[in-house]
């Protein structure tokens, strides 16, 4: 299946949001490591405290957040075709809902997502 430029841009935007979310998780891991190194580990929650990740939808202007445990976020993304989005932000021609949960959905791309993307692309999607 050949995708259009518009569909490719939508998928690229989702990858940018995923990359940003992964940096949030890495930053939290770095804070935990620093706390261990400075004997302040008691200040950091030891459980799988939920974090607020960005919606990984196609709308380059979306700033909605999803409250998800980091372990759950990591498990979802073991499949590189899976993304987390606010319910209702799915785009039928590039993805399908795999699972709908309170507050967010897991979608699977039907277009291969690139490994990395450097910037958001303009699209006609508006999830405001």
Residue-level pLDDT at 16: 81
* Partner residues linked to 101 by β-bridges: 104
Domain chopping of the chain, boundaries: 5-109
Calculated CA dihedral for residues 55, 24, 108, 66, nearest 10 degrees: -40
Residue-level pLDDT at 53: 92
Residue 4 or residue 97, greater confidence: 97
Please indicate, yes or no, whether the overall pTM of this predicted structure exceeds 0.85. no
* Partner residues linked to 7 by β-bridges: none
Cα–Cα distance, 85 to 121 (Å, whole number): 17
């Amino acid at each position: 299946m050949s995708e259009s430029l518009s569909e490719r841009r939508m998928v690229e935007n989702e990858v940018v949001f995923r990359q940003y979310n992964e940096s949030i998780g890495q930053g939290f891991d770095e804070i935990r490591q620093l706390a261990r190194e400075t004997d302040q580990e008691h200040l950091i929650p030891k459980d799988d405290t939920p974090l607020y990740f960005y919606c990984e939808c196609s709308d380059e202007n979306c700033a909605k957040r999803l409250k998800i445990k980091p372990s759950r976020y990591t498990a979802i993304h073991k499949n590189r075709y899976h993304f987390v989005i606010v319910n209702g932000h799915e785009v039928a021609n590039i993805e399908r809902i795999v699972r709908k949960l309170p507050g967010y959905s897991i979608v699977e791309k039907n277009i291969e997502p690139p490994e990395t993307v450097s910037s958001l692309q303009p699209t006609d999607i508006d999830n405001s």
